[in-house]
Amino acid sequence: MDQEAAARRNCGQGLPKGVEIRDGKRRASLRVTFTYNSDRCRETLDIEATPANIKYAGKLVGEIENRIARGTFDYAEFFPNSRRAGQISLQTKRYTIGELVDRFIDAGRKTESMSPSTVATYVKWQRARLFPKWGDRWADEVTTGELRAWIVDLIAELAPKSVRNCVGVLSAVLTVATTDGYIKANPLTPISMKAIMPKRRKAKDEDKIDPFNSAEIAAILAACSRPQERALFQFAFATGLRTGELIALKWKHIDWIRNQIHVEDNIVSGEVGTVEKTTKTDMERDIPMLPAARQALEIMRPMTSMLKIGDYVFSYDGKNRWRHDTQVRERWTIILKLAKVRYRNPYQTRHTFASTLLMNSEPELLVAKLLGHTTVEMVRKHYGRFIKQPEGIVLRSAYAEFGANLGQQTQEKTALPRLMENGTSPENADGSRRRRKLKAV
């Protein structure tokens, strides 16, 4: 007790906040107390209760409280031998939004659960919108009201699709943080994007299905100044491949005997440049080689089949391969201007292929497989409501039996386009027209 009294006198009036002196059999020791995660914590220090050590213990308590306030306190770092250190979960560590976004993206890279293009998109939103606004904020302090106000600001600056993509990234990050126990709940969950977003207008030209007709196809191909460009776009119309799949196609994927094209690779934008990966749906598929596609390949065969450019089929100048879809889009835009064809993006070549097959009575499941879909749902969703045919609104029959002319028929049948190598829509090879029989309703 004399030692304790001396320590108290030498330290001044009383002990520092959070410091206690405990009597032991051999000597008096010091104990520090502090509140962490709403629990009162007490840890005994293996040092003698001297005035100098009491001052040290007071400073230690101050450092601990400072770390707790900043969310960087690690119990095991300060008290590695404490039983409490093992009981406290690592999930109690606080993280900023910036740290959580970093962890989320890094995990996607390491596990390859995200495609390179998805990682690149997340990094873009991370740098452009998430870090500037939320990077230094503690994740457990961000409120739903703050996030709602932020989304409203985004709506004033960005297109609806961009707003959803940006908010979607943050929502995914916060959902994982909730699962891992870093925050109690995702503050974005109570926000209804449908309620806060402006009402959707009709699909923009970039998104709606608006295929090219035979005359437009012929004009586009005729406007190509280079045979390499004509071959690329003619092949696109005749196969329905995505742009990344087109420029990733290799000669080893061409089966001249079976008259088939094997699709398994896709070139997409990555964090730095472009990368080659599997197709968008991670499915390989075979596509029949239509005459237009075969002709396009015959154009490229003498140019690139022996060229040392990685076995790639398509080249923009006969020497170098297409490296990213931006190159293709730039040339496509110029060619459509020269052809005096109303602009639609290159993806409409895929829609043209699909709609042409469907209007020629090809089975929905077959079309879905050729497009790389696992079910017909995507085909029905995008093309089932498609009413504008490439040649205009044209019915396969005059339907003269309906209405006032019941019992009368007309022999006239409406021709549907079939894409051939010259961009026109001639009859079938046997001179016949394929017709769909009407079933009784």
Q: For 358-387, what is the mean pLDDT?
A: 77
Paired strand residues for 35: 40
229 and 345: one domain? yes
Q: Which among 71, 90, 109 is the end of a domain? A: 90
pLDDT for residue 305: 84
Are 376 and 434 part of one and the same domain? yes
Q: Are residues 301 and 426 in the same domain?
A: yes
In a domain, 205, yes or no: no
Q: Do residues 50 and 106 both lie within one domain?
A: no
Alpha helices in 340-418 (DSSP H): 348-359, 364-371, 377-383
pLDDT at 429 over 90: no
Q: pLDDT band for position 416 (50/70/90)?
A: very low
- Those residues whose C-beta lies under 8 Å from the C-beta of residue 240, and which sit 6 or more positions away, are 287, 349, 350, 353, 354, 370, 371
pLDDT tens digits, one per residue of 51-108: 899 999 999 999 999 888 877 788 888 988 888 876 665 445 788 999 999 999 988 8
Q: Are residues 298 and 398 in the same domain?
A: yes
pLDDT above 80: residue 139:
yes
- One domain for residues 308 and 419: yes
Q: Identify whether 413 is part of a domain.
A: yes
Q: What is the pLDDT of residue 205?
A: 46
Whole-number average pLDDT of the chain: 80
Residue 148 lies in a domain: yes
Cβ partners under 8 Å of residue 310, min gap 6: 250, 321
- Assess whether pLDDT exceeds 60 at residue 411: no
How is residue 172 written in tokens? 């995914």
The overall longest dimension of the chain from CA atoms, in Å, is: 122
Higher local confidence (pLDDT), 12 or 176: 176
Domain range spanning residue 75? 2-90
pLDDT per residue over 222-251, tens digit each?
999 999 999 999 999 999 999 889 988 999
User: Is 165 inside a domain boundary?
Assistant: yes
201 in a domain, yes or no?
Answer: no
**Please, which pLDDT band fits residue 172 given cuts at 50, 70 and 90?**
very high
Residue 376 lies in a domain: yes
- Residue 126 has what DSSP assignment? I
Residues 185 and 228 in one domain: no
The residues that bridge with 33 in the sheet, in sequence order, are: 42
CATH of the domain at 382: 1.10.443.10
Report the number of distinct structural domains present in the chain.
3
Is the per-residue pLDDT at 9 higher than 70?
no
- CA distances, 326 to each of 225, 243, 253, 273, 371 (Å): 19, 10, 24, 11, 22
Quick check: is 203 in a domain?
no
| Residue 181 and residue 229 in one domain | no
Domain limit, last residue, from 42, 69, 90: 90
Same domain, 152 and 63: no
The set of residues, in sequence order, having a beta carbon less than 8 Å from that of 349 and lying 6+ positions away, is 212, 233, 236, 237, 240
Residue at 67 is within a domain: yes
Please check whether residues 233 and 278 belong to one and the same domain. yes
Beta bridge mates, 211 = none
Angstrom distance (rounded) from CA 349 to CA 366: 18
pLDDT in tens, 107-132: 888 888 887 878 888 998 999 999 99
Mean pLDDT for 159-186 is 90
Q: What is the mean pLDDT of residues 260-270?
A: 80
Last residue of a domain, one of 90, 111, 138: 90
Q: Measure the N-to-C terminal CA separation of the chain; round to a whole number of Å.
A: 104
pLDDT-derived band at 342, boundaries 50, 70, 90: very high
Q: Are residues 167 and 25 in the same domain?
A: no
Range of weakest confidence among 138-142, 227-231, 335-339, 410-414: 410-414
8-state DSSP, 28: -
Question: Same domain for 257 and 377?
Answer: yes
CATH number at residue 163: 1.10.150.130
Q: What is the mean pLDDT of residues 390-401?
A: 52
pLDDT at 415 > cutoff 50: no
Determine the pLDDT at residue 200.
Answer: 62
